Amino acid sequence: MSTLTISPEYEALLRKVRPKVIRTEKENEAYTEILYDLDRRSARLTAAEKELAELLTLLIEDFEEKRYRLPRGKPLDVLRFLMEQHNLLQKDLADVFGTPSIVSEVLNGKRELNKEQIGRLSARFHVSPELFF
């Protein structure tokens, strides 16, 4: 079995952080905080710190993809799911749709989502617009 060569600085970072597959929300939060600290200094990171940031990003994305996977479904089902996950009520989306009555019409299936609303929903929930098509 061949061994990988890593820099002493990266090896020291790995001993300090001890990255592993994330299995709990607490671990995810801890790694996210470390990544956030690295990101704040992104212009001044060493090669080893950039490598660690890349590894943490992969671990966090893997955990969140598995933990928070969105259902594939009809746009209205996706919207309801997102509202439930964020503990939102119908009135909480008035800023996205313009008026409470439009929110009501959309949620009751009387009105379809338009491209502008999909764009605002995508930004609000930090998801791809394709979920609403």
Which pLDDT tens digit goes with each residue over 9-54?
Answer: 999 999 999 999 999 999 999 999 999 999 998 889 999 999 999 9
Looking at the fold, whether 57 and 99 belong to one and the same domain comes out as no
Whether residue 47 is contained in a domain is answered as yes
In a domain, 1, yes or no: no
User: What's 95's domain CATH number?
Assistant: 1.10.260.40
| Closest by Cα among 59, 50, 67, 66 to 19 | 59
Q: Are residues 86 and 128 in the same domain?
A: yes
What pTM value is reported for the model? 0.54
Shared domain for 63 and 43, answered yes or no, is yes
Which residue range forms the structural domain that includes residue 108?
75-132
Residue type, 69: R
Give 65-97 pLDDT, tens digit per residue.
888 776 667 899 989 999 998 899 999 999 999
Dihedral angle sign, alpha carbons of residues 85, 102, 119, 40: negative
Kindly state whether residue 96 falls inside one of the protein's structural domains: yes
- Count the domains in the chain: 2
